[in-house]
Homo-oligomer: A and B are copies of this chain.
Amino acid sequence: MKDHHPHGVEARRPLLRGVSLRGGASGGNIALLNAAQRQELADIATLARFPRGALLQQEGEAISAIFNVVEGVVKTYRLTEDGKRHILAFMFRGDLVGLYENGRYLNSAEAVNEVAAYRLPVAALEKLWERDPALNMAFLSKACHDLRATQRHEIMLSRRDARQRLWMFIDMLLPQAEESNGGGENPRLTLPMRRVEIADYLGLSAEAVSRGLHALVREGKLRLHGLHQLEVLDRGELAAAAASG
């Protein structure tokens, strides 16, 4: 991990990323909070850090706070009675972790790598919602955004072919990486998670993920640079797949 924060002083306050309900300017991901709202949230937030593998929250636990990811990746998951684990989402900078129901967390959340996140106490947060309708609206937008993302994940899972699921997965992650990238050459993508985590996200075995990735390499669509970095070669076809997904 680098010592200097890559996002500068702007990262020092909570941030919500998503697509606004009303058609935004670009249509892409935008910040859902203005400076004043970010300050409001900062006033009730404390920054927490988690090493890889640390639990942010556990399924069934009584809620106290939700987290706003600043840096690193968090996975939310649930365990089935046969001991398998299904990963519901990977959460990145600007995402919210801690969906709850009847005062209890629904899912467990674990740090995939080194994570920094703002801790937002629920009591204080709900008070803010009552006071500021625009803030409430921002969280509604974020909830709808997460709903769309979950639906998209569902579409991924409905594909029978392991290769197609992986291809959609890569397409989903690409926009995140492209900002840090100069748009010139082939886009490069860093997968911070392990193979088995991709597998649990896509409803596959770790072996099928490995085989699928290498199948895509053989087809000339992908190139692997080490275990956690890949280069997308066949961008055109990927865009087409994205349009239909």
Contacts and interface: CB of A to CB of B under 8 A. Distances in A.
A208 B25 CA distance: 46
A157 B155 contact: no
A184 interface: no
Contact of A88 (B78, B146, B154): B154
A224 to B, nearest CB: 26
Interface in A135-157: 136-137, 139-140, 143-144, 146-148, 150-151, 153-155, 157
Which has the most chain B C-beta neighbours within 10 Å: A100, A137, A155, A158?
A158
Interface stretch (A109-117, A125-133, A210-218, A226-234): A125-133
Nearest to A154: B154
Given A157-B157, A244-B80, A107 B151 contact: yes
Given A154-B157, A245-B80, A146 B148 contact: no
Contacts of A160: 203
Interface string A82-124: 0010101000000000011111001100000000000000000
Contacts of A241: 81
Interface residues of A, number: 47
Contact of A86 (B101, B148, B155): B155
A184 to B, nearest CB: 27
A19 interface: yes
A24 interface: yes
A102 B158 contact: no
Contacts of A101: 19, 21, 144, 148
A27 interface: yes
Contacts of A150: 147, 150-151, 154
Given A136-B136, A136-B140, A137-B136, A151 B106 contact: yes
B22 A103 contact: yes
A102 B27 contact: yes
Contacts of A19: 101-102
5 closest cross-chain pairs (CB), A and B: A81-B244, A143-B143, A23-B103, A133-B133, A23-B102
Interface of A: 19, 21-24, 27, 78-81, 84, 86, 88, 99-103, 106-107, 126, 129-130, 133, 136-137, 139-140, 143-144, 146-148, 150-151, 153-155, 157-160, 203, 240-241, 244-245
17 contacts: A19-B102, A21-B100, A21-B101, A27-B102, A78-B155, A79-B244, A80-B159, A81-B244, A86-B154, A86-B158, A88-B151, A99-B147, A99-B151, A129-B137, A143-B144, A150-B151, A160-B203
